[in-house]
Amino acid sequence: MSISTSDFKNGMTVDLDDGLFQISEFQHVKPGKGGAFVRTTLRNVRTGAVIERTFRAGEKMERAVIDKREMQYLYADGSELVFMDAETYEQLQVGRQQLGTAPNYLVEGEGAVLQMYGDEIIDIELPASVVLTVTETEPGIQGDRVSGARKAATMQTGLVVQVPLFIEMDERLKVDTRTGDYIERANG
């Protein structure tokens, strides 16, 4: 589907000669002299690289139609992660490296939204935070409550998070998926 610079919206994905890019920011500029143009900040959806690009006003390009599919994460099979489509029950194997840091936050049986361009997985949407269980950490020492002191805790997915000293094995913790930081203990 062909679009023009006047159709730009933040989050829109466009198919340019040098790759598939998502528009992070754009600004229409009309100088006193010369033609109007659009200044954009684009993120390459395959590599994550951010570039700045200027387009002439009204310039045409292809809009990439991104299909968002609700999936359930089933299990890891070596370097592959197996997902099941929530509508068709079709299973899909995805290379761990295709998902960046997302596997650190995937728990078996939980849902995720895979963004697909044709048959290619270009991104995965995770909730802002997930609840993970501590599988390994040093025991907390009674009375050791130094303000702000932290220790390493390995979560069930293999992610290592810095947590307060009072956190114990088998505790369920809320972890921020954008930064990998400990937020709080999870209730329940």
| pLDDT (0 to 100) of residue 25 | 93
| Torsion angle defined by CA atoms of residues 34, 38, 43 and 45, in that order, rounded to the nearest 10 degrees | -110
Full set of structural domains in the chain with CATH: 2-63 (2.30.30.30), 67-125 (2.40.50.140), 129-185 (2.40.50.140)
138 pLDDT band (50/70/90 cuts)? Answer: confident
The predicted-structure confidence for 67-93, as pLDDT tens digits, reads as follows 888 999 999 888 899 999 888 888 988
| pLDDT (0 to 100) of residue 173 | 92
Residue 146 confidence (pLDDT) above 70:
no
Residue 135 backbone class (left: φ over 0; alpha: ψ -120 to 50; beta: rest): alpha
CB proximity list for 57: less than 8 A, separation 6 or greater: 5, 6, 28, 30, 35, 36, 37, 38
Mean pLDDT score, 29-47: 88
